Amino acid sequence: MTKKAKLLNLPKILDVRGNLSFIEGGNHIPFEIERVYWIYDVPGGEQRGGHAFKEQHEFIVAMSGSFDVVVNNGNEEKIYHLNRSYYGLYIPCCKWRRMENFSTNSLALVIASTRYDESDYIRDFNKFKTFINERD
């Protein structure tokens, strides 16, 4: 069965000195962490990440500021607004996703299950639809 994108809460250690959250691979997110990257200094109105992955799973957190992650499963599109660092969006493989509406000074952390591999990308939406249909 095709997995769904899902918002996941992270541990939150409240402290008068400042709060703390953390992520353990295979525990708080359902995959082992192979790579971490982040997107920052996004000019107003820009979009990032209009593509899908054949294998990679990922978890996206708004470490600072806010942005929307638009997830398309080939049939329907859902928008997730991320604006706190104590939860994030788990996206299993094979979803078309893009990030938009970045606020000023926003910082998007992406935790990935694979190393960067251009051959895992599907960058054409029609090819993505074909991939999904052949897979299901």
Q: Is 57 labeled as catalytic in the residue annotation?
A: no
Given the complex with ligand TYD, which of 35 and 54 has the nearer CB atom? 35
Q: Which runs of E-coded beta strand occur in 4-66?
A: 6-9, 12-13, 20-21, 35-39, 48-53, 58-64
Given the complex with ligand TYD, which of 28 and 51 has the nearer CB atom? 51
**Active-site residue, from 28, 51, 57, 81:** 51
Given the complex with ligand TYD, which of 22 and 116 has the nearer CB atom? 116
Query: Are the beta carbons of 84 and 15 closer than 8 angstroms?
Result: no
Q: How far is the CB of 94 from ligand TYD (least distance, A)?
A: 16
Residue 121 Cα distances to 43, 49, 53, 84, 114, angstroms: 24, 10, 5, 28, 12
Query: Are the beta carbons of 87 and 9 closer than 8 angstroms?
Result: yes
Looking at residue 119, what DSSP letter applies?
G
Binding site for ligand TYD (CB under 6 A): 35, 37, 48-49, 51, 116
Q: Which residues are catalytic?
A: 51
